[in-house]
Each structure stands twice: as C-alpha cells, then as structure tokens.
Amino acid sequence: MIAKQRFFLKLGLFILLALASVEVSCEVAYRVLKGTWYFKARRASAKGMIQVHPYFGACLVPNVSQERNGIRINHNSFRCRGPEFARPKPAGLVRVVALGGSSTYCAGVSDNETWEYFLSQQLGANHEVINMGAPGGTSIETMSQTALLFSDVQPDIALYYLGWNDAQVQHVQDLWPDWSDSHGQFTVSLARGSRDLEERTAAGTLSRSAKSRASKPSSFPKFSITISSHPTSLMAGSLSSGIGTLKKLWGHITKRWQRWRNKKGSRS
C-alpha cells in the first residue's frame, strides 16, 4: 500500500513538473515571437476589450467594463468608449465626436480622466462629446467610421486627432493603397492579441493562436486582410514540442505502471 502511494505521489510530481516545463517553454516561445513575457503582456493589456472587424481590422468590444491597474474603462453598445448616448440625437444638443488612435481612446487613464471628458465638462450641459477613438487607429479607420457610422451618430462637429500611426506606414515599400499589407495586419494582430490574452497561460494562448491560424476565416469578405502576422512555424514548433513532451510523459507513465504491476506480481 505504501509503495502504491509513493508511486502515485511521484507520478503526480512528475506530471506537475512536465506541465511546468511546457509552460516555461511556451513563455520562452512567446518572448521570441512578441518580444515580451506572456505574464507581463497579460497583466498590462486590455484583454478582451478589442476584437477583429472585417472593415476596420479591429474595433472595440461593446458592452464591457474593466478595471486594470486602477484604470476604469467602459465601452458602450455602439463600440465607443464612455457612457451610452441617445440615438437619434435629441433636439437642441450639440454633439461632438472625437476620432483617432490610442491618444484619442486615452488608454492610460480612466473614463473621467480622458480629454474628451474634460472637453465635455468645459463645453457645458447642451454639449456632448463622444469618444470614437480606438488603439492603433489611423486615417483609414476614421474615414471608414465617418462614411459608415456618422448617419447614426449624427455629429455636429468631428475632431480628428491623427498623425503618429499614419506616419509609421509611410516608408513601407510597395505599400497597398488601403494599407492592408502593413497597418491592416497590425490592427488584426492587435485584436487577436487582445482575445488571446484572455488565456491564463502562455501554452493556452499559443495553442489557441495555432488553431486559429490553421482554420480558414469564414466571416471575412474576399477583400479583407490576411490574418497571419507572425511566423506560424515558430508557434507550430512550440505546439508540437509540447505535444511531444506529453507523449513522452505518457510513455514514461505506462512503463512505470507496467513495472510496478510486474513487481507486485513477482511478490505474490
């Protein structure tokens, strides 16, 4: 009986050690792919706040609220940061919308500390400022928002706060006119990264990324951008390495179990 308990105790410790080894290997693989450790990226990111969009590349997840490192961020049902706003626009209300990237979205502060919030306070009660910014936003996304969403939002004034994200693609050789081969891939990667960071472990997020790359996107139109933005071979390699480790573990467990049974049979 004591020998059996010792065997299962050693087996449990061996399994924990093997799983820890897989997780450490995946952390290293994530570090190689992304340039940072997964546990740090997950702790500092707005996980679950951004999702893939077929036209914008990425957009805010609607109806979510998170507090991260003391910063409170809310998304309303129209995929904008901040409280809900009336549609159609009430009579007598002057509606101002702000469009741009992370400096418009104001990722580093709470809802009541964004420059849109302070602008709304200064303009007065008959004015409303809506934050339509999103991390990574450029003139491409803001043009699409203007063409597709303004008929519902009904703004009187539109503020475009852009520059840095646009400048990052200006020196890309043979850049497509719609930027889909550079900035488009970045925005999809940003959205996919926000989704993948919901996983608690690096092994989980690498497995999820490998599976999503292996499956064909069914909801994207033909003119949409490609999803792959990182070397798939490295992710596949880390995944196959983890599977190989589990196979070796199972073979070791089987041998130990057979050895224990043979030893028990010889005693009897």
pLDDT per residue as tens, the chain (268 positions):
677 777 778 778 888 888 777 777 777 776 777 677 665 665 555 567 888 887 777 888 899 998 877 888 999 999 999 999 999 999 999 999 999 998 999 988 999 999 999 999 999 989 999 999 998 888 888 998 999 999 999 999 999 999 888 887 777 777 777 666 666 666 666 656 554 444 556 566 566 566 555 544 443 333 333 333 343 443 444 455 555 555 665 676 777 777 777 776 666 5
Determine, yes or no, domain membership for 208: yes
So what's the pLDDT on residue 229? 37
14 shares a domain with 69: no
51 shares a domain with 137: yes
180 shares a domain with 71: yes
Determine, yes or no, domain membership for 218: no
So what's the pLDDT on residue 179? 67
So what's the pLDDT on residue 233? 40
Determine, yes or no, domain membership for 217: no
128 shares a domain with 89: yes
The pTM of this model reads 0.57
Can you give the residue range of the structural domain that contains 251? 1-45+198-212+227-268
Residue among 187, 106, 194, 191 at smallest CA distance from 141: 187
Contacts of 51 by beta carbon, 8 Å cutoff, 6+ apart? 58, 59, 60, 61, 191, 194, 195
